Structure 1
Amino acid sequence: MQEKVERLVAWLQAKVKETGVKGLIVGVSGGIDSAVVVNLIKRAVPDHSLGVILPCKSNPEDMEHAQIVIDQAGIDSMTVDLTETHQTLFSTIQTQLNNKDELHQDQQQLADANLRARLRMSTLYTLAANYQYLVVGTDNAAEWYTGYFTKYGDGGVDIVPLVHQTKGEVKEMAKYLGVPDEIIYKQPSAGLWEGQTDENEMGTSYEMIDRYLKGESIPDQDKEIIERMHRTSQHKREIASSPDKF
């Protein structure tokens, strides 16, 4: 694990040098993946790394955990509360849809959640432009393969250091880096709505996805879910689709 961490830190340092930026920035959610990234970028560029807490109708416990991570890593930080901004924009959009009698209530929960993710992305890039930093993503191998991220939201980043690490490997890395237990062992959740958990939303578990990615045998039901998620989310892992040149 020490070797893996050192290689990731060296890769982050190389990306800073290669792109000519001054440092690295990451959104801190209070979850294990962002906690690991916080620790990695702090090691890579100790004096030019920034963790940003971005509450947006968020669970207070997640914000507390985010602050715990900031304190544990000793990284510079700031908080930008997006709750009012989100409410203003989302209600304005809903009003226009209502005026056209085209508001689909069954789609509003997901639209709401995705807008939050995209507001966070926009905020991180605004800060990154100010500091001349790269925006660092937190997606692990399981999330990347299944497309369990918001396109141009938490998937809208410059670099993704954990993209080849399974959820289990991220957990082991978190232990090595000294991430507090309450972060490591909490139920994975994107905090999209009250009671939301990653595994309930996906219909399978990170353990099953990790086993699938390692080529191990898993139940057919889980395999079908994982392969369907990968197939339908392919567009998220590519730049905007275009026709062949003619």
Structure 2
Amino acid sequence: MINWEKIKIQLIDFLKTELNKTGLERVTVGVSGGLDSAVVSALCKEAFGDNMSAVLMPSQFSSKSSAEDAIEHCEKFNIKYEIKSIAPMVEAYIENMDEDRLRIGNFSARMRMSVLYDTSSRDKSIVVGTSNKSEILLGYGTIFGDIACAINPIGEIYKSDEFDFARYLGVPETILNKKPSADLWEGQSDEEELGHSYKEMDEVLKLLVDQGKSKEDVMALGHDEALIDRLVYRMKANAFKGKLPVIANIKWS
């Protein structure tokens, strides 16, 4: 059983320590109406009080419920927020994306991060990330989009465990009960895109990553070979997203 009180104390200490290192006093967080940003914004509220900028950034493809859930969450935790629509930014470029939903989704994620970094510049703050461990391992995020941040308090928490943490923190039931979604387009679902539930994937990831078990060991425990292969492939194929750009090593003589 995970001691979430202990985890919360560690993460609040992490947030305060890392912000203190920068010499700044504020943080900026994007609040989408989803689980990850709800957990992170709740932690930031407890750590920094009103020294945080919460930004809602709907697009023309966002579901109406996402904004409603984000506002409900902010009001419950007394988080001051502002709404900055990215719809005009996406609309200005959308004709170049051939109605490709994935390209539009990635572009939207990068526009949101542009808004967050501009807000952080305005407020002399740092951007706090909202990607969980499952997403990071599987590369389920947009490079220079939602993956970008200065610090990330939940990058070691698996998505399936995060629901319990969110419930402990008091995140609204409307957020806890809905399907995980990056809200890249109406009706988009993380688990439908990935092909499995986070619970199924996280059980295998914990064995492969945290316990260092081989494929054969994981199969012997009753897990599907196709799922294991799919997760291993995604981790390898998307590992570059978690690395800094590679700079050429020049030999000058």
Could you state the TM-score of these two structures normalised by the residue count of structure 1? 0.91
Matched, 1:73 2:77: yes
Aligned-partner SS, 2:184: coil
Aligned match of 2:58 in 49, 55, 60? 55
Contact 2:94-2:104 at 8 Å conserved across structures? yes
Aligned match of 1:4 in 7, 13, 21? 7
Q: How far apart are the structure 1 equivalents of 2:30 and 2:5?
A: 24
Aligned-partner SS, 1:35: helix
The alpha carbon displacement at 1:167 in A equals 1.1
Q: Which residue of 2 aligns with 1:38?
A: 41
Q: How far apart are the structure 2 equivalents of 1:155 and 1:144?
A: 8
The alpha carbon displacement at 1:244 in A equals 3.9
Larger mean Cα displacement after TM superposition, 210-219 or 222-231: 210-219
Q: How far apart are the structure 2 equivalents of 1:245 and 1:165?
A: 39
Aligned-partner SS, 1:16: helix
Aligned match of 2:22 in 3, 14, 19? 19
Q: Which residue of 1 aligns with 2:212?
A: none
Aligned-partner SS, 2:188: coil
Larger mean Cα displacement after TM superposition, 227-236 or 215-224: 215-224
Q: Which residue of 2 aligns with 1:127?
A: 119
Matched, 1:86 2:90: yes
Q: Deviations over 1:23-49 (max 9, x none)?
A: 111111111111000100001110201
The alpha carbon displacement at 1:84 in A equals 1.6
Q: Which residue of 2 aligns with 1:118?
A: 110
Q: In the alignment, residue 11 of structure 1 is paired with which amino acid?
A: F
Q: How far apart are the structure 1 equivalents of 2:108 and 2:43?
A: 25
The alpha carbon displacement at 1:194 in A equals 2.4
State the number of aligned residues.
234
| Percent identical | 32
Listed as ranges, the matches of 1:1-246 within 5 Å are 1-57=4-60, 58-91=62-95, 93-94=96-97, 105=98, 108-215=100-207, 217=221, 218-246=223-251
Contact 1:203-1:225 at 8 Å conserved across structures? no
Q: Which residue of 2 aligns with 1:98?
A: none
Q: RMSD over aligned Cα, in angstroms?
A: 1.4
Q: How far apart are the structure 2 equivalents of 1:212 and 1:13?
A: 33
Q: How far apart are the structure 2 equivalents of 1:45 and 1:166?
A: 24
Q: How far apart are the structure 1 equivalents of 2:205 and 2:26?
A: 32
Q: Deviations over 1:140-189 (max 9, x none)?
A: 11000001000000011111110100112211111111111110121011
